[in-house]
Amino acid sequence: MIALEWIRFLLGTSFLVCGIIIFAIELFGVFKFRYVLNRMHAAAMGDTFGIALSMVGLIILCGLNFTSIKMLLVVVFLWFASPVASHMLARFEVTTNEKPEGLYEDQTKK
For 82-97, write each residue's pLDDT tens digit: 888 888 888 888 788 7
Asked if the structure places residue 18 within a domain, the reply is yes
Residue 110, pLDDT > 60, answer no
Residue 59: which of 50, 67, 68, 51 has the closest Cα?
A: 68
Percent of the chain with pLDDT over 70: 88
Asked if the structure places residue 34 within a domain, the reply is yes
* Structural domain count, the chain: 1
Cα(28)–Cα(104) distance, integer angstroms: 22
pLDDT for res 10: 95
Asked if the structure places residue 99 within a domain, the reply is no
Asked if the structure places residue 104 within a domain, the reply is no
Query: pTM higher than 0.85 for the full model?
Result: no
CA distances from 17 to 32, 56, 86, 87, 97 (A): 22, 11, 25, 28, 38
Asked if the structure places residue 89 within a domain, the reply is yes
Asked if the structure places residue 24 within a domain, the reply is yes
pLDDT for res 8: 93
For the stretch 13-44, pLDDT in tens is: 999 999 999 999 999 988 888 887 888 888 88
Asked if the structure places residue 102 within a domain, the reply is no
Domain that holds residue 12: 2-93
Sign of the C-alpha dihedral, residues 16, 18, 21, 26?
A: negative
